[in-house]
Structure 1
């Protein structure tokens, strides 16, 4: 099922058992922020990106290394070298994704990010080292920025595809098929929002973090929150701005977000996550966040 019909989607989703696959990734991969700087093309449609003078490459590199060190305590984590010619490559989950037996390569909107999809070492790692079948969407014309645009409930095999300049309806269809999902809901993001994973997170299939103002139709945000109730965090403006929605469950009992996001987390929001069985962990990522993304954007998942 690939639909815009909210009622039909959730009626179908409620009938699905949580047996699609592992709810959290088996391993993670990162790309180092080598040459980290503002990508002018990406800044055109990313309201979260800082001005060029706010970028601190050395601090970004240090924080990224600490991110790898921290999350490797709960999930095996590898890091590929960065490339100054691809300053956004620190956010690899937009370009490279995985599903059972497959690696998926997305089609990025901006040429500066399209270069990331050409990386032979990452392709070879999935194809030859891990023996994954490669699904290459990078050469077709429709933007589909993988798990930036598509938030996936891996337990149920359902997805939420936010439409914007980074993902159109055909791109959503291509991703739906590439990830082999049971159902995908296409939805419109608010003007100025570029990726769904900044305003929505599904955590191990049993909780959700939703930023209503990130959706063109806030009733849709309410419907998502209701589906995962009582374990739904509905973010206020401060939580939204601090990237609380850009969190990720890296194990069945841990949720990870940036230090700034955890600082903005209201007590009632933290209680929802704790009641769902999660301990919240964070690392400083202010230098990385200058690039317009946060912790979840840095993490590629291996399923």
Structure 2
């Protein structure tokens, strides 16, 4: 854990923790991604034709968009023409950008070549502008000390906006130097980085599949955190949040890949997959309901083949609205 004594900027003290709007990208080229499967053990190929997999994924995507909108969340769909180069994982946009209430848009380096093709800032800004959101500055995150260093946005980092704190499971997709540089640049107060090991001996590929941080709750698969670092992570989370500990089996059902949102009426929602909802115990669901309405959504094809779930499918929008004259 590191406290950052000096920062390039001041992280917005009024930054809301839960977004009311998200960017989503349709799974136009969706299929099993062999490149990402090298370190993502959550991916599993289905014995179905690629076209059938894509059709099912598109139906799940459309249902999720409708469900979020029905619950009062503004969903900005960034269209993805079928003529673009193949990007099997484009349905997970949270890995390549993030936003701040000051109008900052950050773009992040992706580890896999076919995921690097997803980074379309002009198309993203056009979709945001059309929806009424203002981007004032664009920042490209890169490491000056290494030729190849990756930091896959809110996949690699789980951010506690209220405490200006970032949690990160170090991996090939989460470089420690780049993490610290980013945190200092945006004005984070504290970095809590740690190592993980799953039962197969591999590290967790993304932090956001093993943990989630809400306004007053946190979900974490603490059993995969290196024992010497486990108490530090859990004690830090518990400072001002109710902690829900999940098992590795629950993590594999994507119980960690959930996201708290606040709709246009200010109501708290906790969005999760149907698989995650079914895997949480009744006591755990009772605890989570204290902090928001549980919104389970069936994305079985996407999370099975893609290895990511509903949180990965939503890029949070914290940008200001355009000023009207």
Give the TM-score normalised by the residue count of structure 1. Answer: 0.87
After TM superposition, what 4+ stretches of structure 1 lie above 4 angstroms from structure 2? 123-129
1:150 pairs with 2:157: yes
Q: Secondary structure at the match of 1:295?
A: coil
Contact kept? 1:114, 1:138, Cα under 8 Å: no
Structure possessing the higher radius of gyration over alpha carbons? 2
1:78 pairs with 2:76: yes
Distance 1:244 1:81, change over 3 A: same
Q: Secondary structure at the match of 2:213?
A: strand
Report matched runs for 1:70-109 at 5 Å: 70-72=67-69, 73-82=71-80, 83=84, 85-100=86-101, 101-109=103-111
What is aligned with 1:115?
117
Q: Secondary structure at the match of 1:28?
A: strand
1:23 pairs with 2:17: yes
- Give the Cα–Cα distance (whole angstroms) in 2 for the partners of residues 302 and 180 of structure 1: 18
How far did residue 53 of structure 1 move?
3.5
Contact kept? 1:109, 1:143, Cα under 8 Å: yes
Match of 1:135 among 135, 139, 148: 139
- Give the Cα–Cα distance (whole angstroms) in 1 for the partners of residues 86 and 185 of structure 2: 28
Q: Secondary structure at the match of 2:301?
A: helix
How far did residue 209 of structure 1 move?
0.5
Q: State which drifts further: 41-50 or 148-157.
A: 148-157
Q: What's the RMSD between the two structures over aligned residues?
A: 2.3
Contact kept? 1:34, 1:81, Cα under 8 Å: no
Q: Which of the two has greater helix per residue?
A: 1
Contact kept? 2:210, 2:251, Cα under 8 Å: yes
Match of 2:249 among 225, 238, 247: 238
Contact kept? 1:107, 1:139, Cα under 8 Å: no
What is aligned with 1:15?
none
> Gaps spanning 5+ residues in structure 2: where?
5-11, 319-325
What is aligned with 1:13?
none
How many residue pairs end up in the alignment? 287
